[in-house]
Amino acid sequence: MKSRVSHLAILYAAAVTIFGGLAIQAQTPSAGTTTLTGVVSDAMCGKHHTMQGISDAQCTRLCVKAGSAYALVVGDKVYTLHGDSPDLDKYAGEKVTLKGRVNGTNVRVQSVTPAT
């Protein structure tokens, strides 16, 4: 009986730790708007497009049509983009300046303009 109580106490403590951490993370305020400059790509290909005979823009559009998300390549980092799909499609394969809320490697897009 004592062993069973110990196991239940451990499981309870683990659950409190896990769910408590999730609650704290969910309450953490998101970062403010960030400006990033990079090339519009797709999350599947990232920095390197592999389809032969088509441009990076065409590859990006085909991958997105097949279910991949738009992405922004900034140096060696690839951010997955969410929202503003018409503008992202318009600038596929091009260098842009993007404003949005960054959460790790995800960006909630607020605006996209050609990079100057």
| Residue ranges of domains in the chain | 1-30, 33-114
Closest Cα to residue 110, out of 82, 91, 70, 73? 82
Q: Is the pTM of this model over 0.85?
A: no
The pLDDT of residue 28 is 38
The pLDDT of residue 31 is 53
33-75: per-residue pLDDT in tens? 999 999 999 999 999 998 899 999 999 999 999 999 999 999 9
Q: Please give the Cα distance from 116 to 111 (Å, whole number).
A: 15
Lowest mean pLDDT among 23-27, 39-43, 108-112: 23-27
The pLDDT of residue 50 is 85
Closest Cα to residue 78, out of 51, 102, 113? 102
